[in-house]
Amino acid sequence: MAAVGLVFVGLSFVACEYGERARAQGECPPGETCSELTPKGLVFIGAHTINDADVADLLATAVGGTQTVSVYYANAPSAPYVAGFEARLVDSTVARLPSPGPTTLVLRGVSEGKALLRLLEPRTSKLLDRVEIETAAVQRISVLPRELLDEKMEAGEWALLQGAPAELGIVLFGANEMQLVDESLEVRAHGAEVSRRTWDRYEVMTSAPSAVSLDVRAGDQRGSVDVQVVTSIDDITRKATEGSGEGRIEIGVGAGGETICFQAKSGRKTVVGAKWVFEPSETLTVARPDMPSDLPPWAAPPWSSPSCVKLAGTAVGDARLKVKAGEYEKVFEVGVR
């Protein structure tokens, strides 16, 4: 059984890797005859993940699991490649291709190792591009609540709010903390309802105050984690960042604003799943934090925390921000300078 815990992982979009031709500006690898359909090569796009993983690499596929790979032209404007291809693996003992082409393929991990994935022009077998893929066994399964994207917090330190839908992400690791993908991953819960949102993101809601047991099947491994449930929130705290504390919030005047994040508490536990509402006084404005503007066309929106808000001041002076988490609310003093 794979170990289960909670680990800090940041925002994410999607893991991708430039093929050998793309890295060489379209040059044909030795021993290959290359197609003119992809003069600058291809970008191989793997599964979208809830954390940042390593967006410069195609993540490894879990042994016993699957990963969908699509391809884009490497040259601008990086449009999806839709001319069709034949997919072949140099070593089929590492992975299989149960449903290849014409524009996407699915990798199924068979055993640990690496293999060369070649995409060929149909009927001519000329190389469009190629990339090395990797497979590895799942050794650890981590559970990541959406509100705790930037926290190193063990599962025993946070709790679900009874009756509130909490979004939980699942992160898979192999040896040496290498992150893995298994889009066939399954999550079941004892004591709660579970709804799948994406392959690694699930909504969990419990109607009873008893602990919830999450059972995860990833690749050829299984793991479980017990999560406590609380019935109410008794405090809201500001997440500490460099130069900040629990006291008065200080921000500058102007449209730029600053991102402030909060945590809901029940005793010593951080509570996840609460609905967050931010009500500013007259000289403040609130908005969702800015999304990155320089994402590639294949990127997915980041999985941002609902407990964060972009706070801006319209006039210098004292102001107030009312923060609500579930049924609990708290007023924070704000100084606009």
CATH (domain of 250): 2.60.40.1080
Domain final residue pick, 172, 201, 230: 230
Model confidence pLDDT, tens digit, residues 215-263: 999 999 999 989 999 999 999 999 876 455 567 899 999 877 899 999 9
Bridge partners for 331 per DSSP: 322
- In angstroms, the Cα distances linking 285 to 146, 310, 330 are 24, 8, 17
- Residue 153's identity, in one-letter code, is M
Same domain, 44 and 126: yes
The closest of 57, 218, 46, 47 to 143, measured between CA atoms, is 218
Cα distance between residue 13 and residue 188, in whole Å? 25
Model confidence pLDDT, tens digit, residues 327-337: 999 999 999 98
Does the residue 1 lie in any domain? Answer: no
Q: Which is it for strands 127-136 and 60-62: parallel, antiparallel or unpaired?
A: parallel
The closest of 98, 67, 105, 68 to 84, measured between CA atoms, is 105
Same domain, 147 and 247: no
Confidence band (pLDDT; 50, 70, 90) for 7?
very low
Same domain, 246 and 176: no
Does the residue 307 lie in any domain? Answer: yes
Same domain, 14 and 132: yes
Same domain, 126 and 13: yes
Does the residue 248 lie in any domain? Answer: yes
Same domain, 123 and 241: no
Domain final residue pick, 121, 136, 151: 136
Domain final residue pick, 200, 230, 260: 230
Q: Which is it for strands 179-181 and 60-62: parallel, antiparallel or unpaired?
A: parallel
Same domain, 250 and 320: yes
Does the residue 257 lie in any domain? Answer: yes
Same domain, 131 and 163: no
Confidence band (pLDDT; 50, 70, 90) for 102?
confident
Same domain, 45 and 18: yes
* Residue 5: predicted pLDDT: 33
Same domain, 148 and 197: yes
Same domain, 18 and 116: yes
Q: The domain containing residue 49 runs over which residues?
A: 7-136
| Position 56 pLDDT exceeds 70 | no
Does the residue 321 lie in any domain? Answer: yes
Interior/surface letters 73-90, b for 16+ CB within 10 angstroms, e for the rest: bbbeeeeebeeebbbebe
Average pLDDT estimate for 111-126: 96
Q: Are 228 and 160 in contact (CB under 8 A)?
A: yes
Does the residue 2 lie in any domain? Answer: no
Same domain, 303 and 271: yes
Does the residue 107 lie in any domain? Answer: yes
Domains of the chain: total:
3
* Residue 51: predicted pLDDT: 76
Q: Are 153 and 35 in contact (CB under 8 A)?
A: no
Q: Which is it for strands 249-251 and 328-336: parallel, antiparallel or unpaired?
A: parallel
